Amino acid sequence: MNYEDIEYTVEGPTAIITMNRPQRYNAFRATTVEEMINAFRRAWADRDVQAVILTGAGEKAFCTGGDVKQRAETGDYGPSESGMFEIGNLHKTIRDIPKPVIAAVNGLAIGGGHVLHVLCDLTIAADTARFGQSGPKVGSFDAGFGSAFLARIVGEKRAREIWYLCRQYDAETAERWGLVNWVVPAADLLDEAKKVAAEIAEKSPTTIKFLKQSFNADTDHQAGLSNMAMSALDLFTHSPEGLEGATAFAEKRVPDFNKYVGA
């Protein structure tokens, strides 16, 4: 596959997947998601790769989730080779690849971008990174891994706060909550992630594979919730309420959800 929205490189035992749409704060569209799935599968099949780093291009954003501007313009996330928006398959691939995935969060990890780092095995954050959800502000949600798995990481109260209030949290707060493993100066982020990947590569790959599968086993039932949530999201984003959120975002105004209260 010739990539348009991402970059894929391999350095020694480490594959690096970079979301490369800095003009849209690395927000993903259907093509981006499809390319990331392909890249993760390449890393999966490469016997020399022992860990994967997921990061974003530029200094402003790791990923800000689904491209709401694209959704406002076309009513969907754009075309893909499969004809589908395969975000659920991307989530599953990050969990299923039998190699640790390290999120190197270089800036904003918001909305669906926040979900991506949550699903990674480890998260290293630049001291300039910021974290949060935005779905309820723009007519979107992730009622699968993005909420249920998040609650496993930070606890029910914090997870509800993150989703209900849509605030942004700095890297220090995220580390204190257990949302990230550690924080480093922005200039050192990728080097630190590579060091961690190299440490992993020194370990038994079969042992690491079984450990990852063991960790996942406790929450694999959430995949069913995720499938149902993605089906619900597809219906909701085409509803008047969902479209109001996307349209308001594109028009840079506050959405008017009042008419949907109690609906």
Known binding residues for substrate: 77, 108-112, 140, 252
- Distance between CA atoms of residues 188 and 169, nearest Å: 21
Kindly state the DSSP code that residue 28 receives in the 8-state scheme: B
- Distance between CA atoms of residues 203 and 188, nearest Å: 24
Question: Helices 87-96 and 30-45 meet at what angle, rounded to 10?
Answer: 20
- Per-residue tokens: 206: 């079969």
| Maximum C-alpha span of the chain | 57
For the annotated binding site, the residues are: 77, 108-112, 140, 252
3-state secondary structure of 228: helix
Residue pair 249/146 in contact by the 8 Å Cβ criterion = no
3-state secondary structure of 73: helix
Which of these, 13, 27, 71, 26, lies nearest to 245 by C-alpha position? 71
Neighbours of 127 (CB within 10 A): 15
3-state helix, strand, coil in the chain (%, to 5): 50, 15, 30
Q: Which residues contact 79 (CB under 8 A, 6 or more apart)?
A: 30, 31
